A and B are shown apart, each in its own frame.
Chain A
Amino acid sequence: MPEEIREDDAGAMGESYYLNMGPQHPSMHGVLRLKLRLLGEEIQDAEPVIGYAHRAHEKMAENRIWPMFLPNTSRVDYLSGMIYNLAYCQAIEKMLDIEVPERAQYIRVIVSELNRISSHLLWIATYVMDIGGVTPFLYLWDDREIILDIMDRVTGSRLTYCYGRFGGVTMDVDDLFCEQTSAFLDRLVGRMVEYDKLVRKNVIFIQRSKGVGVIDADTCRQYGVTGPSLRAAGVAYDVRRAEPYGIYDRFDFEVPTLTEGDCLARYDVRVREIEEASKIIRQALRDLPGGLVMPEKPKKKFKPSPGETYFAVESARGHFGMYLVSDGSETPFKIKLRTPSFSNLAAMPKVLRGTMVADTIAIVGSIDIVLPEIDR
């Protein structure tokens, strides 16, 4: 990268030099490029370079009618696509005051939480892989596969769901879905105990993550870090609790927090979130009412009155906001996505300063960034 290292800087930098990590680094998540200025092995400065997966989702939205943005939503963050897809539906419902049937509300909660579990499982798998453990990866993907199969049966897709519609969901769930889901949750309990032994008690894992990459609560506030990274720093902020959307106020669950703020704490918070999500799913399955999931055909064309709507959900990575601006026409004037990974990544230069280059992957991986979500 010769153009970035300027000759006249060389003296001022002393022994320091630049190291490029990514965008095609095997353990870099997606296509992130980190420009590291190193002094020996110590990171003096880090600069995330993003934009390699930019697909102009927000711009795309401005050129088509409102429903045509639906398939885009789950491609913004392909690991928790369902949450994003339903976030858009709920934002539109808030804008147009559309009533959603009870059953559809419960199904939305179940599939969202399943999606959250699968996203966290994938994070644990890839994170452990990043810092050197290959075996857990296979077992966790095995678990995740079951979720994908369950979701496939009702939504018709495994990753990029387009399940939500304005005023409901596309397809009803059946008894088999409920059985499969509770069977999966039962199985997951035993598996999580195994992972605890396999990963959490492993000395190598602990040494590589304990006390590494501490993000304190103040840093989180400054940069707008949300999600498990924020809760690992001791701030009990969860959109599902802070501003309950949908029917989340009906469920009994905890917002797990820890105070250490290091990589290990972020791991622990995610593991406990998997348990909380299971709790929510069990309650939702128990209370699942009957009825229709989509009373009438979804609206094809509508003209919302001019104005703005902001709708926030808790995605697997944090506070995800949808800011819709309507100018009274059939097409959105602007759809702004506030994606959690972007803010979480923004804190990275500060966190990485002063750490060792060997810890870079452990730290960057621990905040669970999804690059397509950052670039949109």
Chain B
Amino acid sequence: MRAVRAVFVGLWSLLVGLAITIKHFGRTTILRKKVTEQYPHEKPVMSKAYRSAIKLIRFDETNSHDCVGCKACERICPSFCISVDGDKVDGIRKKRATHFEMDFALCSLCGLCIDACPTDTLEYSKLYEEVGYTRHWKHDLLKDFNAYEAQFVAEQRAREEAEAAEKARAAEEKKAAAAAAKAAKAAEAAKAAEPGAEPVADPAADAAAEEKKKKIEAAMAAKAARLAAKAAATPAPEES
């Protein structure tokens, strides 16, 4: 009797399982619910976080990367797969990378190099069709930049010169202003030369102090208003 029961229980459990299998089979074959990505015809879009070989970011302002060849990434890479060199370029303040090679076959995609970069010029590329035919799977990260390098250097030199000129002009102006103030002060002092002992307040400094005071007052008023508003807002829910 027990044996017969066992047979029926067993058969029933198999049928229940089979029903589930048939359900899934129907879902995918008869309803044709496609779950496969039609890869070569439809290209997948990689997510924002997708990690592939690192690459240098092209900044809009300079139309180039910002790698200074400091080797911070090379030193922190746990897979020792980055090799980078930098050199001084005439007329530019910062160094420029002259050689940036990365062996993708070794990379463990940890992102430590991206965190370590002081100029934030590294990011993951979204390459996914990566095929390697050799054991050394080198990526030359400067490949896309080499053609623009001369242009970049010229532009950067111009930018830096302009910056320097601007700075010089500002310094000149400041100097002139200071000289004028000094002259005014001297004149003032000469005027008040007779009593002599009392130092005369600088009108420019006075104005600045006035300005500062006004600013602080305004800030304090704003803060008081904010506090009042908060105080007004808080008890409301308590009452209701």
Contact = CB atoms under 8 A, between A and B. Distances in A.
Interface string B88-111: 000000000000000000001111
Interface stretch (A148-156, A241-249, A303-311, A354-362): A148-156
Interface stretch (A68-76, A208-216, A267-275): A68-76
Given A197-B20, A203-B10, A300-B72, A67 B49 contact: no
A197 B20 CA distance: 8
Contact of A67 (B17, B20, B112): B112
Interface in B112-143: 112, 115-116, 124
B13 A155 contact: no
A300 B14 CA distance: 58
Given A198-B17, A297-B115, A300-B116, A71 B108 contact: yes
Contact of B76 (A155, A157, A202, A300): A300
7 A-B pairs with the lowest CB-CB distances in the bound complex, closest first = A156-B49, A71-B110, A156-B51, A68-B78, A162-B110, A71-B108, A203-B10
Interface of A: 64-65, 67-72, 135, 139, 152-157, 160, 162, 165, 170-171, 194, 197-198, 201-204, 297-298, 300
Given A162-B109, A194-B20, A298-B115, A67 B76 contact: yes
B16 interface: yes
Interface string B5-31: 010011001101100110010000000
Nearest to A202: B13
Nearest to A142: B35
A198 B78 contact: no
Interface in B33-47: 47
Nearest to B108: A71
7 contacts: A70-B78, A152-B49, A152-B50, A156-B51, A197-B20, A202-B14, A203-B6
A275 to B, nearest CB: 20
A174 to B, nearest CB: 9
Contacts of B24: 139
A157 B78 CA distance: 17
Interface of B: 6, 9-10, 13-14, 16-17, 20-21, 24, 47-51, 72, 76, 78-79, 108-112, 115-116, 124
Contacts of A298: 115
Nearest to A151: B49
B125 to A, nearest CB: 12
B118 to A, nearest CB: 9
A70 B112 CA distance: 9
B49 A197 contact: no
A89 to B, nearest CB: 13
A202 B17 contact: yes
B76 A197 contact: no
B122 to A, nearest CB: 13
Contacts of A300: 72, 76, 115-116
B180 to A, nearest CB: 44
A70 B114 CA distance: 14
A179 to B, nearest CB: 15
Contacts of B116: 300
Nearest to A75: B108
Contact of A156 (B47, B72, B108, B112): B47
A6 to B, nearest CB: 44
Nearest to B107: A71
A153 B115 contact: no
B14 to A, nearest CB: 7
A170 B20 CA distance: 41
Nearest to B24: A139
A152 B47 contact: yes
